[in-house]
Amino acid sequence: MIPLLQPFPTDAAERYRRAGHWRGETFPGMLRQLASRHSSRTAVVGGEQRWTYAELAIHAEQAAAGFLALGLNPGDRVVVQLPNIPEFLSVVFGLFRAGLIPVYALPAHRAVEVVHFARTAEARGYVIAERHEGFDYRDLAEEVCRQVPALDTVVVVGEAGPFTSFAGLDGAVVALPGDPDPSSVAFLQISGGSTGLSKLIPRTHDDYIYSFRASAEICGLTPDSIYLAALPVAHNFPMSSPGVFGVLYAGGTVVMSPSPSPEVAFPLIAREKVTITGLVPPLALLWMQAARKRTYDLSSLEVLQVGGAKFMPEAARRVRPTLGCTLQQVFGMAEGLVNYTRLDDAEEIIVSTQGRPISEDDEVLILDDSGQPVPEGEVGNLLARGPYTIRAYHNNDGANARSFTPDGFYRTGDMVKRTPEGYLVVQGRASDHINRAGEKISAEEIEDHLLAHPSVFDAAVVSLPDEFLGERSCAFIIAQGEKPKAAALKAFMRTRGLADFKVPDQIVFVPAFEITAVGKVSRKELRAALRRQFLAEQSAVP
């Protein structure tokens, strides 16, 4: 098992239990319950497959036995990197059933990220799909195994090549462990990674199940709900807000979409009569544009959730007229706290706020830079503590010292204000990352890779406003020796084994970082100054 560095204090844990938030449920117990309650209802649809709850439970049970038969032991960590396919669910429920601990990676991640997750989690296993969007994950697995020798078990959904086939795990006869302790770590989720590489987020059965059970209720889910998983399901939003787990908890149906593009998603909505889905803002814009052509019947769609990055009020206003459904804004984080606008809120609240917390036991502070509460209605730093917000990252003392207060509040890095009705409006953020269409990119991590190029003397990466992406990344570079071409630098970044979304969108060469401030300038101030200067020059161009 993985110990929690900072378990919830006993008094808080008791309060959460007494309030009925933590009910002692676990993932294996939950699936058993669902399989008995909704056995012949459809749990998940994807590709040519359509599994009932009873079938999902059987697949998970077989997977659990198969994983243990490979020599993995309860408590071992297993990196899961799968696209939106039904097997995502049989794999993770199989791991839960076997007492193994999934570590979620996104399909876009490459060697740098996966190696980092595998090392930090001290993983032994790695589950991949054979390929997705033209990329062969078996090549990636070979590279990861080379760099992380302790990772000795690779399981492939599809053609296994040199590894073990997931389908071939069926038929193993192994005794399975009893249900885990509900307060133990169920899995490791990855953070948006605002400074440096992503941190690992330990979530317990108690806290996570509470978050999606309560989310399912807020979103009005019932066994008739049909959820389209359009965003990659390993991300916290489509996983639990209410996401695939919340929909299953309610006895509804998950439709796995291999891509969030309207071309792929719209026919699925029409065919499966999807009632709810979640998108990041740029995709919501794209869907609204595509929906004007009206070639598919989207009338079953009741709720469109938008979150992950700020959805501008003007765009938000267009959701109902163009898609004919209710918008729900979702402002959440893998570390815990999730805010929703409620389905019956006034239109003005829905379009102009990012919602209010799930729970009456979510404690939210809005503080100025010296740690004092700001006057009501003013902008400040958001801190959160509550029944499903972590108290520490996994194995990361430095980040823990920075990101949590001594009394257990998580510093979200977001700047918000609160309306008189108690809704949060996101105003920006204090930390230096780029929120590129909901994907968080650490400036520091990208600068480090740029500095590895022999012609780069120094680099500073900032976010610039982007009409479509919300924000795009721009790298300011001081060259040394022969100045490289921007395209060559981007190509270099692609060879670094990084997720593609981290390659800078724009590269600007500057002769020096002209900082007029006296004394030592932090990277943070430097980035802010470069960004300001660049935007001022741009707007000065006639």
Q: Give CA–CA dist 438/356, Å, rounded.
A: 19
Binding segment toward ligand OOB, per CB under 6 A, in 172-180, 324-332, 475-483, 489-497: 324-332
Q: Give CA–CA dist 263/164, Å, rounded.
A: 34
Q: Give CA–CA dist 525/518, Å, rounded.
A: 12
Task: Give residues 437-476 in contact with ligand OOB (rule: CB under 6 A).
Answer: 438, 440
Per-residue binding string, ligand OOB, 224-243, x by CB under 6 A, is ------------xx---x--
Q: Does 195 bind ligand OOB (CB under 6 A)?
A: no
CB of 192 to ligand OOB, least distance (A): 4
Task: Give residues 273-312 in contact with ligand OOB (rule: CB under 6 A).
Answer: 307-310
Q: Which of 99, 332, 336, 408 touches ligand OOB (CB under 6 A)?
A: 332
- Among residues 330, 272, 316, the alpha carbon closest in space to that of 47 is found at 272
Whichever of 205 and 429 has its CB closer to ligand OOB, that residue is 429
The type of residue at 515 is I
Residue 407 corresponds to which tokens in the numbers above? 């009394």
Whichever of 106 and 325 has its CB closer to ligand OOB, that residue is 106
Q: Does 211 bind ligand OOB (CB under 6 A)?
A: no
Q: Give CA–CA dist 36/33, Å, rounded.
A: 5
Buried b vs exposed e over 115-142: b needs ≥16 C-beta within 10 Å? bbbbebbebbbbbbbbebeeeebbebbb
CB of 362 to ligand OOB, least distance (A): 14
Task: Give residues 335-354 in contact with ligand OOB (rule: CB under 6 A).
Answer: 338, 354
Q: What is the DSSP string of 81-144?
A: E--SSTHHHHHHHHHHHTT-EEEE--TT--HHHHHHHHHHHT--EEEEESEETTEEHHHHHHHH
Angle, in degrees to the nearest 10, between helices 53-69 and 87-97:
60
**Cα-flanking dihedrals φ and ψ of residue 16, to 5°?**
-65, -35
Binding segment toward ligand OOB, per CB under 6 A, in 16-24, 329-337, 401-409, 441-449: 329-337
Query: Measured at CB, which residue is nearest to ligand OOB?
Result: 332
At residue 125's C-alpha, the angle toward residues 122 and 128, to 5°, is 125
The count of residues interacting with ligand OOB (CB under 6 A) is: 24
Q: Give CA–CA dist 60/43, Å, rounded.
A: 13
Number of neighbouring beta carbons within 10 Å of residue 200: 24
The CA-atom distances, in angstroms, between 188 and each of 191, 196, 204, 212, 393 are 10, 18, 9, 16, 9
Whichever of 90 and 195 has its CB closer to ligand OOB, that residue is 195
Q: Give CA–CA dist 535/132, Å, rounded.
A: 38
Q: Which of 148, 186, 399, 426 touches ligand OOB (CB under 6 A)?
A: 426
Q: Does 423 bind ligand OOB (CB under 6 A)?
A: no
CB of 428 to ligand OOB, least distance (A): 9
Whichever of 35 and 462 has its CB closer to ligand OOB, that residue is 462
Local structure of 254: helix, strand or coil: strand
Whichever of 440 and 449 has its CB closer to ligand OOB, that residue is 440
Binding segment toward ligand OOB, per CB under 6 A, in 28-36, 327-335, 443-451, 475-483: 327-335
Q: Does 104 bind ligand OOB (CB under 6 A)?
A: no
Whichever of 69 and 112 has its CB closer to ligand OOB, that residue is 112
Per-residue binding string, ligand OOB, 493-532, x by CB under 6 A, is ----------------------------------------
Q: Footprint of ligand OOB on this chain (CB under 6 A)?
A: 191-192, 236-237, 241, 307-310, 329-334, 338, 354, 412, 414, 426, 429, 435, 438, 440
